[in-house]
Structure formats: C-alpha cells, structure tokens
Chain A
Amino acid sequence: MSNLTTIISVAAASFAASFVEAVEALTIVLAIGLTRGWRPALTGAAAALAALALIVAALGPLVGRVPIRALQGVVGVLLLLFGLRWLRKAILRSIGIVALHDEDAAFARETRELSEAARRQATGVDWIAAAAAFKAVLLEGIEVVFIVIAVGAARGLVWLASGGALAACAAVAAIGAAIHRPLASVPENALKFVVGVMLSAFGLFWTGESLGVEWPGGDAAILAFAAMFLVVAAALVALLKPKAPAPA
C-alpha cells in the first residue's frame, strides 16, 4: 500500500521528467515538419512510437516477474546514475560551465542540417527526414519509458507513472500543434534540476531498501532525501557561481 507522499512523488517526477524529454523530441519533429514536410516527420515519429510500444509490451511482463528486492536494487542504482547525472549537468549549467540547452538554437541547427541534406537529395522518399524523426522520438521515448519503470515499478505504481508521462507528452504535443514553434520559454534547466533531485532521492531510497535498510519515516524519507540533494546542489551553485563584478 502506497501512501500519499509516494503517489504524489511518483506522479510529479514522472510528469516533469517526461515533459522535458517530450519538449526535446518536439523541437526536432517540428524542425523536420517545417523544413521537409509533415509526412516524413509524422511517419518517423509514428514508427518510433510503434517501436516504443513493442519495447513496453516486451519488457512490461518481465518487470512483474523480477523479485521486488532485486528490482529495487537494479532500478535504484540506475536511478542514482541517471538522476545524479541530470543534477550534475543542471548544476554545471547554472554556474555557466556548460551552456544552457536552448530549444531555439537546437531548432535552428536541426533545420539547417535538414535543409543541407534536402539539397543533396532532390527526389525520392525522404528517408533522411523520417529517420531523423524516428531517432529523436525513439531516444527521448526510451528515456521516458525508463523513467516510468524506474519511478513506478518498485512500488507497483507503473500505471500512475505512465499516467504522468502520458499527460506530459499529451500537453507538449497539444502546445506544439497549437503554436508550431519550439517551446523555448520552458524553464528547462530548472525542470532538470527538480527532476535530478527527485530521481536521485528515489534512487537512494530504493537502493537502501534493496539492502534491507529500514529508513526512518518510511516512504516520507524520499522527501527528506530530495531536500538533502536540493540543499547540496543549491550550495554548490551558490559557492561556485561566478560573482558579478561590482559596479564602478
């Protein structure tokens, strides 16, 4: 039986992480659709969604057969690697060591590359555009599937995590269809910061549970771990962010 803390944490982490991934996939599909036509863009995206459905259909039943403690251990370690990687990158972006992810710049780059490819291939089926859409949606989609399984499976809440992910993907697709522009105003680094904190907290909790640790407060320890990672990350940003020069 899961308590309210777990339910809210799973749904929120799944929604936020999937939102970021869906925005990245949308940027590339939009660039393909606007430069090479919507047919190859949507064909590639639909093929990737079909491939993702096959992956989920193949992996879904396997997840239910793995003993819960082994599942918590594997998922916990993968979440730690995945979440701390996101958090590290968000910290480095906040302090200016790594450039912020810019959806407008990604859109312009993808558009330029596809236009050059179009000049080289004047006729025939636009396999290049379809393959680019397929790869973008498949890669971002695999990340979403991994996040859904990772945050939901260890507590039997895959349905809830799937709902959060589907809601995020539907929201991004609806906004993208309405405005036909990359979602550049989404605070992507702030979202990645929050998602990195949440995934790391889940990872620490489940890795400990797989080792037999009885965390004080039960599932509420997830929130304490999230607070701890948030404080560490915020302290690193405050400590390492270059100071603005004093006005002369």
Chain B
Amino acid sequence: METGGYQIGRSRLPGLAALALAAVSLGVGRAEAPLFEPSLAAATPPPLLDADLVFRRGRDAIARIALAYSAQPRFSHVGLIVREGDATSVVHAIPVDVHSAGGVRREALGRFVAADMAADVAYYRIDALTSAQRAVVRRYVLDALGRPFDYQFQYSDSSAVYCTELVVKALAAAGLDLSPELTTVTGLTLREPVIPPDALGQARPLRPLTPLRRTTDNPMLAVPPP
C-alpha cells in the first residue's frame, strides 16, 4: 500500500524522512480545517422507510466537471434505503475503488452522506408503494448484494448492475416499472441507453422529502454551460 503525496511518491525518500514528510503533508500535529466542506444536505435526514431513495453528488473531480456541463445537474449517484431496527443503511451499486471491490454494497446511511462522500444529498419517497411493495424492494436489493458493478451500463443484463439500474429494477420487481418514462443518455461506447441518476430523480412518482433548492443555489452552475 502506497500512501503519501506527490513529492513523496517521486523522491523515494528513505523511511524516517519519508514518514516525517508524510506526517507534515497529511497535517499530523497541527490543527487544520476538515478536508471537505460540509455537505449541502441537511445534517439530520428525515424519517425514512424501506425503499426510499437517497441521491448524492459525490466529490469526484471528473464527475463534477461532467455534471457542471449538464443542463440541470445535481446528482451522480443513487441508492435505496433499508431499515433494520433503528439502523438505516443504503444499498447501492458502485465501481471498484481502493477501499472495496465495488458492486452492490450495503453501507450505513451516515457513511453514504458523509461530507467526504457527498457534496449534496436528497431523499425521495414513492408514496404509492404499499408496505408489501416496500418489502419486495428491500428483498430485491438485499438479494443483489455482491452482484458486480456494470461497467458496460447494460440495462438488459442483470448479472451486473449500475446504480440507477439497481434502483429501477428493484422498483420494477415490486410492480412499479419507471423505465419507460425515464430520460436516457447515450455514449460512444455504450451499447444501450443509460439512465442517469438525475433522470430518475425527476420521475413523477418521486416526492422529495427534503426541500428542493433552486438551481441557482447549486455551486456547480457557477459557470453556466456554453
């Protein structure tokens, strides 16, 4: 495991010197502001039910640059709420990173919306879902745990899933198929149209549980797309 900054990585400093430099560069021994500013989301989430949706805009540089160029950018990711007693978690599909092998994972809500993970968060509910349907959604996503992330973004193939695909298919399993009304995007190497999180967020059955901000409040739109 390599840890450290750009200078350290290049100079291959010997042990102690590298350790000392790493400590300085990582801010050990000095009071420093948090790495990321607080999320735009409310600190306390609203009361949530199984099958509620939670959207976030991550902190990723490339995702920010791409989303800022979209007409109504807000979210880069979505997951489904699963309750277990007093604990609330999110089941979602993510690509591989240095912390996990990726795929469909269950994560504590607090971690999903933590400041270092989310610049913005919103919660939605589909009021039309009955308790029985919510149970079906819950069972679907829990059964999907461990399924790999779909790097081909193919909705027609359920052996691997991307974030929006997981949510849409879980709702469809409960009898609510939103896919026909969702806006899709196409890409050069994409074999099928892809459903972006923002398209799902604009689906009619979804009711925001937190107040929606005006798009002018969105710092990503500080420089409007040309």
Q: Do A and B come together as binding partners?
A: no
Query: Using a CB–CB distance below 8 Å, which chain A residues touch chain B?
Result: none
